[in-house]
Amino acid sequence: MFAPRTKRHVRGANSDYAQGGRITTGYRIGIGHDTHRLAEGGPLRLGGLDIEHDRHAVGHSDADVLLHAITDAVLGAAALGDIGELFPDTDEANHGRDSAEMLQLAYGKVVEAGYSLVNLDCIVFVQQPKLSSHKTAIRQRIAAILKIDPAAVGVKAKTGEGVDSVGREEAIMAQCVALLIQTKE
């Protein structure tokens, strides 16, 4: 799956890269992170699904912390900015907006820029609810949103072990790493 190392991939001290030029291997990595406060009343919107819980995430859009982290990861990998630039919370059109729609629009820009998603690796940090029984459905929903194979989506869950804002059930966080491959020059 990995491209062989060629002169295009490895350059010496006198190369364009060493002199401030651009080098491309065809692969790009992006990292996304998001945090939202939790408030009384459910359900919890996560990964494009409503999960039964007595708390919900608070935000300008639907506050889906996982889809926001994924959106930032794919945008970052393609050097296309971040979710706040595309969907500012100062724009009333984004109030209550479906994060799945935002992710689809952002990923459309990534594809237009000449990249395709190889895989995602995601972590959700939440004390409650336990996500073990929801991870397969979340992976499938993310894959459906992006029109990719669910095998390309990794989802893990971690608790706050009773410490910090996650452990006290005051917040939910998510992180995502996205790997893109260049599909056109």
Q: What is the pLDDT of residues 26-83, one digit of tens each?
A: 999 999 999 999 999 999 999 999 999 999 999 999 999 999 999 999 999 999 999 9
Asked if residue 6 is part of any domain, the answer here is: no
Residue 184, amino acid: K
* Separation of alpha carbons 21 and 134, rounded Å: 45
In this prediction, residue 20 carries a pLDDT of 52
Q: In this structure, what are the phi and psi dihedrals at residue 43, rounded to the nearest 5 degrees?
A: -85, 175
pLDDT grade, residue 180 (50/70/90)?
A: very high
Mean pLDDT of 81-93: 93
Distant-in-sequence, close-in-space partners of 151: CB < 8 Å, separation ≥ 6: none
Tell me whether residue 161 is in a domain: yes
Q: How many domains does the chain have?
A: 1
pLDDT per position as a tens digit, 106-120:
999 999 999 999 999
| SS3 state at 173 | strand
Predicted TM-score (pTM) of the model is: 0.87
DSSP codes joined into one string, 16-46: TTTTT-----SEEEEEEEEEEEEEES-PEEE
The dihedral formed by the CA atoms of 81, 86, 89 and 94, expressed in degrees to the nearest 10: -150
Task: Dig out the tokens for 126 from the structure.
Answer: 């939440």
Residue 23 has pLDDT above 60, yes or no: no
Domain-embedded: residue 13: no
Q: Determine, yes or no, domain membership for 75.
A: yes
Q: Cβ contacts of residue 114 below 8 Å, gap of 6+?
A: 182, 183, 184, 185
- What is the extent of the structural domain holding 95? 27-182
Percent of the chain with pLDDT over 70: 87
The CATH number linked to 73 is 3.30.1330.50
Least confident of 4-13, 21-30, 83-92, 169-178: 4-13
Structure confidence at residue 5 (pLDDT) = 44
| Banded model confidence at residue 8, pLDDT cuts 50, 70, 90 | very low
Given a contact cutoff of 8 angstroms between Cβ atoms, the answer to whether 28 and 77 are in contact is: yes
pLDDT of residue 68: 98
| Distance separating alpha carbons of residues 151 and 42, to the nearest angstrom | 29
